[in-house]
């Protein structure tokens, strides 16, 4: 993607969705952290289905701990990898209670020190909860970054660094959401919907056909 195309690319995405947000459902920073931790290799729809039952019962670190591991697993067993996710969430809650007075920390270092919280999860929390201009590269953003030519890279970190460098500052805080939603609903993995893409004029991808 040519540099001069980046600004209109994001201006178009912004015009269509001026105030984008995550599709994960949450009402507190801790609920967001828990939901993002549970969302690895799972859909937001699937996570929301589980947390709609979990959060009314337990939505603080201490309440999660009070459920016990087996109790927590019963609420999230519909989510993939729920055994390991339950263990990580319990360990994270213990650290939050013991070291952070049950408050989710606001620094990358402290977030990434929590079990099950990697760079991508930390970036989501920093961006969505605290308004930091971070870029959480999931499978959708990785694909869009490479396919469009906006941020080619062989690893999520490489794509993240390219995006942080190329996206105009005015769009950076919301860019993560626009790119995820674009990848989820338009620039899909197997059959990108190029014929209905609002930003196809700025994209490097040359599909064999523009119609379904």
What the chain holds in terms of domains, given with CATH numbers, is 3-20+134-202 (1.10.1670.10), 29-128 (1.10.340.30)
Greatest alpha-carbon span in the chain: 57
Q: Is 138 a catalytic residue?
A: yes
Instruction: Look at residue 203 and give its three-state secondary structure.
Output: coil
Instruction: Give buried/exposed letters for 21-45 (b at 16+ CB in 10 A, else e).
Output: ebebebeebbbbbbbbbbbbebebe
Q: What is the DSSP letter of 77?
A: T
Report how far residue 24's alpha carbon sits from residue 159's, in angstroms, rounded to the nearest whole number: 23
Known active-site residue 2: no
pLDDT of residue 41: 86
Active-site annotation holder among 49, 138, 191, 208: 138
Q: Work out the angle at residue 188's Cα, subtended by the Cα atoms of residues 83 and 52, and round it to the nearest 5 degrees.
A: 40
The pLDDT, as a whole number, for residue 104 is: 97
The pLDDT value recorded for residue 212 is 54
d(CA 193, CA 212): 8
Give long-range contacts, CB 8 A cutoff, 24+ apart: 11-16.
11/171, 12/198, 12/199, 12/202, 13/178, 13/182, 13/198, 13/199, 14/171, 14/174, 14/178, 16/198
Integer Cα distance of 43 and 41 in angstroms: 7
The catalytic residue among 85, 120, 154, 211 is 120
User: For each of the chain's 212 residues, which pLDDT tens digit applies?
Assistant: 999 999 999 999 999 999 999 999 999 999 999 999 999 889 999 999 999 999 999 999 999 999 999 999 999 999 989 999 999 999 999 999 999 999 999 999 999 999 999 999 999 999 999 999 999 999 999 999 999 999 999 999 999 999 999 999 999 999 999 999 999 999 999 999 999 999 999 999 976 555 55
Residues 6+ positions from 182 with CB-CB distance below 8 Å: 13, 140, 144, 199
Please report where in the chains the tokens 């729809």 appear, as a residue.
45
């Amino acid at each position: 993607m040519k540099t001069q195309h980046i600004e209109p690319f994001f201006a178009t995405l912004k015009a269509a969705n001026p105030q984008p947000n995550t599709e994960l459902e949450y009402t507190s920073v801790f609920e967001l952290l828990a939901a993002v931790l549970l969302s690895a290799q799972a859909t937001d729809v699937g996570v929301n289905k589980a947390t709609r039952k979990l959060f009314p019962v337990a939505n603080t670190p201490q309440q999660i701990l009070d459920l016990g591991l087996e109790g927590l697993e019963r609420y999230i067993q519909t989510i993939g990898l729920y055994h390991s996710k339950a263990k990580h969430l319990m360990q994270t809650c213990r650290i939050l209670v013991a070291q952070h007075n049950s408050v989710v920390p606001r620094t990358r270092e402290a977030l990434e020190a929590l079990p099950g919280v990697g760079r991508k999860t930390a970036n989501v929390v920093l961006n969505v909860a605290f308004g930091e201009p971070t870029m959480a590269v999931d499978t959708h953003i990785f694909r869009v970054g490479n396919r469009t030519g906006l941020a080619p890279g062989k690893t999520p970190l490489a794509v993240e660094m390219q995006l942080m460098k190329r996206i105009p500052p005015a769009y950076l805080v919301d860019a993560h959401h626009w790119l995820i939603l674009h990848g989820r609903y338009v620039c899909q993995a197997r059959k990108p919907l190029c014929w209905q893409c609002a930003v196809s004029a700025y994209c490097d991808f040359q599909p064999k056909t523009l119609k379904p």
